[in-house]
Amino acid sequence: MFTTNPFAELSAFLSPFVMQSYIIVMIILVMAGTIYDVLHKKSAQYFFRNWRHVKNKGTQPVSPGDMAALAVKTVVVEALMSGEFCNTRRRIAHLITMYGFLAYAATTIAMVFWYPTPATLAPAILPFLWHVGALMVCFGGYWFWFFIRVDVTAEGNSPFRVVRADLFILALVGSGTLALVWAYFQVINNSWVNVVFGLYVIATTILFGTVPWSKFAHMFFKPAAAFQRRVEEANGSRNNMPLSADKPETLGSVRERSSNY
């Protein structure tokens, strides 16, 4: 199972062109959804306005070299290590899910575009990483959902209580879970394999098609917000910045808004 490219087997009844077109559409949906999210919530407008305030109210100069160092630190600490999470379990679950998703998504693209049929045999590492990535998504996602969520662990709510903010994590673990079930059903020639594949496509489409209403776009906002915060701390303007009372959704508040995951 771990060495079988499930998309190559799929080509027996679904054209590789259809699979490739689907992935392109999903990428476009993510880009369009993120742009819409930025414009609708005016996050970019707030960011650049606040950036000017940071420069004007700073009490210490920040050299270009310091800015570059802050950018590198932001990438390493916040983007690669999820340093914004103070809770160790939350950080570990987030990292497992994040790197699992990256492996799962990257290998999906590689296998669909370069190895879409049995005639184009994929290197064994690609399906292996695809399966491991999906497993990591499921492990980190279910761990978070049942044992780490604030409204479950601290507020005592049922783990089956669902709100709109849960759309991203539910679609993500749904896609990963159904991917694994679909791949397994292929190996054992289960008659439900096409039904599961259809459910897999639905879950994946929800994941990438609901960016404006889920937390998917946060992965793009959070590094920018973290970099802005580091610059504010470096030039001494952070304590001088008033909070915006009339803007409920700002780039600077991404860290607080996304604390549930």
Could you write out the DSSP letters of every residue in 37-53? HHHHHTHHHHHHHHHHH
- The confidence score (pLDDT) of residue 56 equals 67
Q: What is the pLDDT of residue 149?
A: 81
Q: Please tell me the predicted confidence (pLDDT) of residue 45.
A: 66
pTM of the model: 0.81
pLDDT value, residue 58? 65
Q: How many CB atoms lie within 10 A of CB 239?
A: 9
- The dihedral sign for the CA sequence 203, 84, 155, 215: negative
Q: What does the alpha-carbon distance between residue 168 and residue 32 come to, in Å, rounded to a whole number?
A: 16
Neighbours of 204 (CB within 10 A): 22
Query: What is the mean pLDDT for each group of 10 consecutive residues in the chain (261 residues)?
Result: 92 94 96 84 67 68 84 84 81 95 98 95 96 98 88 66 84 97 96 96 96 75 77 72 43 41 47
C-alpha to C-alpha distance for 238 and 230, rounded to whole angstroms:
9
Q: What is the pLDDT of residue 253?
A: 43
Q: State the Cα–Cα distance between residues 193 and 48, nearest whole angstrom.
A: 49
Per-domain residue ranges of the chain: 6-257
Q: What is the predicted pLDDT for the residue at 154?
A: 61
pLDDT for 75 equals 83
